[in-house]
Amino acid sequence: MSQIQSICPLETLDGSAIEKLAGKVVLFVNVASRCGLTPQYKDLVELSKRYTTQNFEVVGVPCNQFGAQEPGTSEEILDFCSMRYNVDFKLLKKQAVNGSERSDLYSFLVDSEKGEGKDISWNFAKFLVGRSGEVVARFSPKTGPLSEELVAAIESEL
């Protein structure tokens, strides 16, 4: 994971830097507050709690590129996520996941072997990064956080 952090600093919505991801299994998810898939937050919270003692983290990445479904400020996003879904996992500053403005993080994820260089299709696409810092799996937005496929991939990395 230090590989990602050496490429790009990971800054949360409150302005602090994420540290100590090295050696952890991390699920990166581009999120949005006004999407039909927004209820996935509930399962992401459960997933985060289920494996937190096993060096697993969920990291949400707000993105406004799909139907302008994440228009809020950092404070508005934090308020929505904490009040509506009790989100306690880390949320990064809003960033672009596609196009010429694609963030360094998403360039790393998308350009990986598992990312296949393919653009993100919608909100709630998921990338699983193993302890070594390599992308080990990519999941579509419709793959639920508690799906057998995703849980099996996480458990195989833990």
Q: Does the annotation count 8 as an active-site position?
A: no
Q: Which of 8, 35, 63, 81 is catalytic?
A: 35
- Residue 58 φ then ψ, to 5°: -100, 135
Cα→Cα distances 140→6, 8, 132, 137, Å: 27, 24, 23, 10
Report yes or no: 80 and 94 within 8 Å, Cβ to Cβ.
no
CA distance 47 to 58: 8
Q: Which residues are catalytic?
A: 35
